[in-house]
Structure 1
Amino acid sequence: MIKAIFVRSIMFISSYFPLYILLLISQGDLLLPFGNTTQKLTWYSGSFIVALGILIVISLISILLLKNAPIGSYCNPVNMKRPDDKVMNYVFTYIIPILGLSFNDFHSVIVNVLLFLMIWFLYIKLDLIFVNPLWSLFGYISYEYDGGYIITDIRYEDVVRTKTPLLGCYLTNRIFLARKGKRCGA
């Protein structure tokens, strides 16, 4: 149980990778020791920038974990559907933190951290690890099929056409990871 929550938490952290980059850009004046900035780096804004750096590193590590996940199961997806707008809807949750966040406003930081924790809880509880924009940037797309979701770097048309089961691993009971070149009997 603890391992599953840990893995899902890493995937949640990586799902917000674009947000971390956008936050660093939007608060760029805090990072530059020169220029005409009126903002001062406070202990909590400095800590938050360090935390964002750590979250970015964890996000990149999740890609390595995804690419090196052990292969030991197979899946033959039936009634596979093209991706819908779940990832886009998820990305739009970034708008709230970006519009309201100021590292120099302690209350703004606390509210956004609480929002982030609430979304983390829902992400874990609802088993939404297939919703991850960072994976999409690296070529992994989530498809729905009877029984769950498949995350793969294999084109939709290729998965639908083949009758050979895909080799990969289950990230959770409903979410299967398959990579190119990994097919039963291949």
Structure 2
Amino acid sequence: MKITRTIQKILFYLSSFIPLYLLLIIQNLQITDSDGKILSFKDFINQFFHTSTSVAFFWGGVLVLLFLSLFGVALFFLVYANTDGRVGTIKDAELIREDTMGYIVTYIVPLISMDVNSARSLTINLILFIIIGTFYVKNDQLFMNPLYNICGYNVFSSEEQIYITKISKSKLKVIAKRKLSVKKVNLIGDIYVLSEYKSSKISNSDDLYS
């Protein structure tokens, strides 16, 4: 069970770097030759294989990581986000919005500067990627994922728990204050995916601050 949890954490970690993989692909993918002409299909495919060892390693690594990341995406959006979970309440505590932009600036942006033609640069960035991953997995930083924000989720932390939810902060405060029920799915540890419980939904006409 512990091994399964660790694998899930790793998949979530890899999925948090999907923006990086896409940026690296856009940055390094060759579509035209030195004369500005569109590459033939054969030349386009050859750039992934018939190149230097470091470049071939780069493309192989990016494609493998992107493929594995899709399992992390499916795990969250198709499994955890669609699981009924259990009905419960949340405490009336101060909700702090987690800064996932800081995650992008701190971890993702520096990796864009790697030189794919340099084995040294690839090695250094791979080691950095592993170090960040070790920190991410060991400290259960699964909520630090830009994809959640892109897909409309908010990440809030309270005194004891962290919530990944599409519910706005103002609604969460009302739900907590009125002790209304929500659906809670435990992602891992003290991290939960929250969604509104049908019988406790707050309409837009409600006074959210009453």
- TM norm. shorter chain > 0.5: yes
1:50-84, CA deviations, whole angstroms, 9 ceiling, x for partnerless residues? Answer: 33223223334433322332333344232141414
Query: TM (normalized to structure 2)?
Result: 0.75
State TM-score, norm by structure 1: 0.84
Q: How many Å separate the matches in 1 of 2:21 and 2:129?
A: 12
- Which has the greater radius of gyration? 2
Q: How many residues were matched structurally?
A: 179
> Closer, same or farther in 2 for the Cα pair 1:21/1:73, shift >3 Å?
same
Residue number in structure 2 paired with 1:59: 69
Match of 1:165 among 181, 187, 190: 181
Aligned to 2:23: 22
Q: Secondary structure at the match of 2:59?
A: helix
Where does the alignment leave 5 or more consecutive residues of structure 2 unmatched?
36-46, 202-210
Output the CA distance in 1 between the equivalents of 2:88 and 2:59. Answer: 41
Q: 1:161 to 1:51 in 2, by over 3 A?
A: same
SS at match of 2:189: coil
Amino acid at match of 1:19: L
Give the equivalent residue in structure 1 for 2:53: 43
Higher relative contact order (CA 8 A, sep 6+): 1
1:6 matched residue in structure 2: 7
Q: CA RMSD in A?
A: 2.3
Q: Distance in 2 between matches of 1:16 and 1:75?
A: 32
List alignment gaps of at least 5 residues for structure 1.
none
Percent identity between matched residues is: 23
Structure 1's 45 and 184: CA in aligned 2 closer, same or farther, altered over 3 A? farther
Partner of 1:132: 145
Q: Which whole-Å CA distance do the structure 2 matches of 1:77 and 1:103 have between them?
A: 47
